[in-house]
Structure 1
Amino acid sequence: MVRRTGRRPGNPDTRDAILATARTAFAEKGYDGASIRHIATGAGVDPALVHHYFGTKDKLFLAAMNAPLDPGELIPEVLAGDQDAIGERLVRFFLSIWDSPAGKAGVAMLRSAVSSEWTAKLFREFVVSQVLRRVRQLVPMPPAEAPMRVSLVASQLAGLAMARYVIKIEPLASASPEVLVAAIGPTIQRYVFGDLSGVWASPPPPDTAG
């Protein structure tokens, strides 16, 4: 079941001012570079008020992104269990989200990210800080290889989302989830745990996944 992100009551004008400032800060400085204090100053409020309305920095970021779910709650459940089936579980989870009502927000965000550099920055920060970083923390991978491995996973899932839900390429667009799990799960599994020795022939890229 998809758990939506929570929302605390508060003054709508103050909340909107905080969210608008947060979106700009996260897009310009990134998730790690944007602090609660900086956002509060930009919105003209006390940092304690930001915490009152949104709780943690993660929750503020999710609210700023209008995220329909909290990856921090769902990803640990998906990654728990048999490591030999992580690829299949990731694909099944991914499809369950995008095929649910929450998927409409994802499609809108993806379309906007393609056409807007500003939205693309926010979308990238969401993927890196809320999804890929958690995968790296929870799945045992060699530290030097982890950035490339999780980036390859992201490329596969982003391509699937674009082809199935935005461009709607057939028969991919109408294929059953289990068909796609069987087809794509092994590729994700290889990206996470398989032999990628050819990739390491050149120096590893800069680490951008935290």
Structure 2
Amino acid sequence: MTARRPGRRPGSADTRGEILVAARKEFAEKGFDKATVRGIARQASVDPALVHHYFDTKVGMFVEAMRLPINPETFLPTILEGPREEIGRRLVRMILTLFAEDASRQSALGLIRSVMTNEESVGVFREFMTNVLLYRVADELGVPRIRTELAFAQMFGVIVGRHILRLEPLASAEVDELVELLAPTIQRYLTG
């Protein structure tokens, strides 16, 4: 292997885009847990430091590579900070509001459809959801992990019913109305 010269690498000016392509491939082949920044850098023919230059963390890179509408590194503190007895309300409102915005809804629904029809995608998504989101919330709250999985399943079902199946009156219900109906159940899952 020849040593790289310092400075801008020759070739395409879209290094960030090339890293994202390499990341998608690496995540698809190895899953979220086994994909590494070094492996992604190797796929993109760049130094790992350059990957870190464009993406602070592997989670941040995954969020962009998979076009996720939220970044857990900003989402989790918003949910976990504040009174524990209001976590269900904060979580439900945040998710429903996210899906009320056209751009994030389209991105998320595309991901949901992809995950539901592609076995490779479902494995990567499951690893990410459990290890980066659900289990972190469970550990932070000190509750059994199945409780966060149940809360996720409840909200996932609501999103599918509301935005994919378009069940009425669920599809046209106001966010505030749904928060009032769902928050107590999600709260019970998360805090007992």
- The TM-score with structure 1 as length reference comes to 0.77
Counting only pairs closer than 5 Å after superposition, residues 1-210 of structure 1 correspond to structure 2 as 11-12=13-14, 14-101=15-102, 102-141=104-143, 145=144, 147-194=145-192
Distance 1:151 1:69 in 2: 18
Distance 1:27 1:173 in 2: 33
Over 3 Å off, 4+ runs: none
For 1:29, the aligned partner's letter is: K
Distance 2:164 2:110 in 1: 9
Distance 1:119 1:33 in 2: 14
3-state SS of 1:152 partner:
helix
Instruction: Verify the 8 A CA contact 2:141 2:191 in the aligned structure 1.
Output: no
What is the Cα deviation at residue 124 of structure 1? 2.5
- Give the helix-richer structure, 1 or 2: 2
Distance 1:177 1:113 in 2: 25
Q: How many aligned residue pairs are there?
A: 180
The structure that has the greater radius of gyration is 2
For 1:156, the aligned partner's letter is: Q
3-state SS of 2:52 partner:
helix
Distance 1:42 1:91 in 2: 38
Percent identity between matched residues is 41
Instruction: Verify the 8 A CA contact 1:152 1:191 in the aligned structure 2.
Output: yes
Distance 2:28 2:147 in 1: 25
Distance 1:193 1:53 in 2: 37
Which stretches in structure 2 are left out of the alignment for 5+ residues? 1-11
For 1:78, the aligned partner's letter is: I
| Stretch deviating more after TM superposition (22-31 or 171-180) | 22-31
3-state SS of 2:154 partner:
helix
